[in-house]
Chain A
């Protein structure tokens, strides 16, 4: 600041701090506060909320995008894994079918053996009996019918 400007600045400061000048400042300071209505405030609140939602949406949009991509990838992987395991139930299913056919065959056989041999032990039962008593000791009572 030049010397002349400095002097002018000092003169200005002195005038600004004079009694009359400060009285004007007090008069301006003493003016009443302005009031705002509740309607005004509620309108403003609604607008600020809209700004807040838009502002937060800027962060939510990319988050949703990445989440969607991630979910898609996860679903694809899950589907792939599921398809890889599709064959395993088939093997179980055919085994189940084999067992079922065996049971049916066994039933038919037992029905036929009853028809042929009548009541009593079927040959299957005898076979079982024989295998069950393979190591049993024979008694006289067992041998007498023979």
Chain B
């Protein structure tokens, strides 16, 4: 859904953003800290969750998340509305996370992308008694396996998985955000899920083996 705001079309999230968001955005452009505070209220948890899973250190994630919103507010006049506010914030967050990783000396694990043959991925059956995603929040151990799997996967796969499966961004939005083709988004998403699938399978099989 797009509406025109000034000269540039403003993309609006179908779920949440309404005409009220236009008033908030207008306030932000006048450097109204209170108006931007409403943006922070809406997105702070989601941005922090994304950043924390990207950089894997809580203190660094706290600082980086603040930096995301400060940068966004400083550059609010450059927000042209071609993407949604949510996408724009995650783009800033992703760029800061990449810069942070480069400073920390962590390079993307390119070998992980090539190591999983796509044809063989996710052909195994997981034991249904243990693998119930809807009860993941209850199964603390399984949740930790998923978190650990996300932390261990390649830094090229991780943002795609988080942005699509956790933040509900579309393939197009992710492609625009990461500046990669849409086909690459899909293939990385598939590989990321396959990686997690392997981790969960190994964990569940260990559990079955120890029981036996």
Contact = CB atoms under 8 A, between A and B. Distances in A.
Contact of A20 (B118, B126, B142, B165): B126
A34 interface: yes
B136 to A, nearest CB: 4
Contacts, number: 117
A12 B187 contact: yes
Contact of A49 (B33, B74, B166, B197): B33
Interface stretch (B64-72, B79-87, B104-112): B64-72
Interface stretch (B17-25, B94-102, B143-151, B172-180): B143-151
Interface in A1-26: 5, 8-9, 12-13, 15-16, 18, 20-21, 23-26
Contacts of A52: 31-33, 36, 73
A31 interface: yes
A121 to B, nearest CB: 87
A52 B76 CA distance: 11
Contacts of B147: 31
Q: How large is the interface on B (under 10, 10 to 19, 20 to 34, 35 or more residues)?
A: 35 or more
A23 B131 CA distance: 9
B161 A28 contact: yes
Interface stretch (B7-15, B44-52, B204-212): B44-52
Interface string B113-134: 0000010011000100001011
Instruction: Give the size category of A's interface with B.
Output: 35 or more
B189 A36 contact: no
B73 A27 contact: no
B91 interface: no
A15 B165 CA distance: 15
B62 interface: yes
B1 interface: no
A34 B57 CA distance: 13
A111 to B, nearest CB: 81
A56 B197 CA distance: 51
B188 to A, nearest CB: 11
A120 interface: no
B40 interface: yes
Interface string B186-203: 110110010011001000
Given A31-B143, A34-B52, A40-B62, A9 B133 contact: no
Contact of B136 (A9, A27, A45): A27
B4 interface: no
B166 A56 contact: no
Given A28-B161, A28-B162, A30-B137, A16 B69 contact: no
A33 B48 CA distance: 9
Contacts of A108: none
B186 A24 contact: no
Interface in A92-107: none
20 contacts: A9-B186, A15-B121, A16-B186, A16-B189, A16-B190, A18-B122, A20-B122, A20-B197, A21-B190, A21-B193, A21-B197, A24-B133, A27-B146, A29-B165, A30-B143, A31-B143, A36-B48, A40-B62, A47-B66, A51-B33
Nearest 3 pairs between A and B by C-beta? Answer: A55-B31, A26-B133, A28-B165
